[in-house]
Structure 1
Amino acid sequence: MVGQKKKTKTCGKGSQEDMISKLPDALIAEILYHLPTKDAVITSVLSTRWRSLWQCVPGLDLESHAFSNSDAFVSFAEMFRESLVIRKLRLRIHYGDSDGNMPSLSSWIDSLTASMRKIQHLDYDACYCKSASIFTCKTLVYLRLRKWFTSVNAKFVSLPCLKVMHLEFILHLNGAVLEKLISGSPVLKDLLNYFSIAELIKERSMYYEIIEPKVMFSTVPGCLVSSLRFVELRRSISGYEVEMELVRYFLKHSRILEKLRLDIYYTKMAKCAFLTELVAMPRSSSACQVIVL
């Protein structure tokens, strides 16, 4: 009929309405946050609007195996050096993928951590990297380090917001470094320390001095008095006495500790002696539950 407006067909057979593109940029960035970073960057080819959305993603998830070689990995990582929006960083560098670029990666991690103003979550599996700036990150809440050098990196530790610290296969973790890491984290609630010589042996042509981290605290760290609630110690080799000293120290000085989990290897006879001594240890927290696996 004359004067009647023709209805616009918005959805029909064989077509679908693009609902995602109608979302605000901030929400799309949060969706991309749950993808591996390399996949998030690929979405830039979808349209002009999507071209730079990946730069607003608050998380960075990189794994060296996803790239053809170390140069490609480092080149891709460099695009995020000046990022100011990232609050979560997960980095996996596999042995052999970045041997020639390790100094560049250490520099990049330092630069990235120093430039970030909102970073809260760091998860590094960096194949014995030597970055130092992570130990003075003021906004950090969660820190996981796997295969890391600490002897020269932890000269000064200031992690005022750190609540979770997981240390796995840390080399040269001596008593002085362990004291600085814990003492420099005044609100720490969750501590995991996992060490395994078996894991180091798997690394091809790599030999390291193994240092047993004896407890040498000059003063009781503040977090043991006011915030530490969960401690887990793991060890998959026999013959080390460090656990006994650490366990005794944590039980004696952690006033609000709720759970101490011990996943350590002992022969049947040695474990019996360990449990006997464990039961007799004095505890500052009457509510502490000790679990031995």
Structure 2
Amino acid sequence: MSDLIENLPDILLLHILSFLPTKEAVATSILSKRWRPFWQSLPILAIRDVDFHAYDLEVFVQFVDDVLLLGNLKFLNTFSLTCWTIRVPYEKLSSWINALIQSRVESIEIWFPSSFNTKLPSNMFNSKTMKVLKLNGITFDSLRAVSLPCLTVLYFDNVRCADLNCVAVLVSGCPILETLVFKSLDTKHYGPMLDVGKLDHLVAARVPPSLLPWKALANVRFLSLRSTWIPGAMHAAWSPAGDIPTLYNLTYLECYSNMWTRMVNYLHSFPKLQNLVISEV
């Protein structure tokens, strides 16, 4: 069997390795000289703390250092880091992200428990190549400058920020955004949000009610207002009021509402609506 595997072409071996957890894929480098560089040619790396015995911080950090700081990342396209138990030091997280940005990775996913209050370095939000950014359990004190000219998917869950200006700066720095998800957002100061302009490329959005001005959603097709403001679930309800511009492309709308009968008066603003889902609060 070993001879059969060794006779397979490199491209097929790489395909097989792509189905393994990153820790196991890297471990194959000890098999032979031929196998040693294979994992460095993988386009996808997914690292999870649950794959490490007893969640050893030192071992875990050393492993990620070896992969991101000592490895060859020129073939890397997608990177995922999941830590539900291990608290990664800020300096290490910063150096890892810097390595990913410099290697021109197109997709980054980072998952931490919200209780960790994990903060990311500012260079995370300045990339000329990133297309997908998914974050869970991240805390923002402030965001001064964001430049993500190629980002099409922005997905946030259990995100905590000082005020909505952070959100405005972030969204404004993604000019070709197609999918925007704020599944749950925790902010102490709701306040007026900065104008993010019209998001011309936005197709799908899941955001809390009143997070974005309606003109920013002018071209959206799928809209969910069932995201959650934390704390204060009462902010999850959408009560239509004022003028709503015509959303000519909207075909799907879902929301929480405690005054759903008032929505009848606003349906004329959605002439192509095919699906309307209302969950009563």
Q: Sort the TM-score into its range (normalised by shorter chain).
A: 0.7 to 0.9
Aligned partner of 2:131 in structure 1 is 141
After superposition, the Cα gap between the structure-2 partners of 1:221 and 1:59, relative to the gap in structure 1 and judged at 3 Å, is: same
Aligned counterparts, 1:1-293, within 5 A: 16=1, 18-67=3-52, 68-82=55-69, 83-95=73-85, 97-98=86-87, 101-117=88-104, 119-126=105-112, 127=116, 128-152=118-142, 154-172=143-161, 174-195=163-184, 210-212=188-190, 215-217=193-195, 219-223=197-201, 224=216, 228-232=220-224, 233-235=226-228, 239-241=233-235, 244=238, 252=245, 256-262=249-255, 264=256, 271-273=257-259, 275-281=260-266, 286-288=271-273, 289-293=275-279
* Structure showing greater Rg: 1
SS of match in other structure, 1:172: strand
1:158-204 per-residue CA deviation (whole Å, 9 max, x = no partner) reads: 2222222111011116322222222222222222112277xxxxxxx
Alignment-mate amino acid for residue 167 of structure 2: L
SS of match in other structure, 1:157: coil
Deviation at 1:53, TM superposition (A): 1.0
Deviation at 1:255, TM superposition (A): 5.2
Aligned partner of 2:208 in structure 1 is none
Number of residue equivalences: 252
- Whether contact under 8 Å (2:163, 2:188) holds in the other structure is no
Deviation at 1:248, TM superposition (A): 7.7
CA distance, structure 1, for counterparts of residue 127 and residue 268 of structure 2: 33
SS of match in other structure, 2:183: strand
Structure 2: gaps of 5 or more residues: 202-215
Structure 1: gaps of 5 or more residues: 1-15, 198-208, 265-270
CA distance, structure 2, for counterparts of residue 243 and residue 183 of structure 1: 25
- Whether contact under 8 Å (1:167, 1:193) holds in the other structure is yes
After superposition, the Cα gap between the structure-2 partners of 1:194 and 1:212, relative to the gap in structure 1 and judged at 3 Å, is: farther
SS of match in other structure, 1:220: coil
- TM-score after normalising by structure 1: 0.72
Deviation at 1:253, TM superposition (A): 7.4
Alignment-mate amino acid for residue 235 of structure 2: E
1:197-246 per-residue CA deviation (whole Å, 9 max, x = no partner) reads: 7xxxxxxxxxxx6444754326334434786443444228754336638x
When the two chains are superposed, the root-mean-square deviation of aligned CA atoms in Å is 3.2
CA distance, structure 1, for counterparts of residue 246 and residue 169 of structure 2: 16
Alignment-mate amino acid for residue 58 of structure 2: D
Q: What percent of counterpart residues are identical? A: 23
Q: Which moved more, 1:223-232 or 1:64-73?
A: 223-232
- TM-score after normalising by structure 2: 0.74
1:78-131 per-residue CA deviation (whole Å, 9 max, x = no partner) reads: 113342221111111224x12xx42223312331232122x2221111342323
1:15-36 per-residue CA deviation (whole Å, 9 max, x = no partner) reads: x474443333234223322221
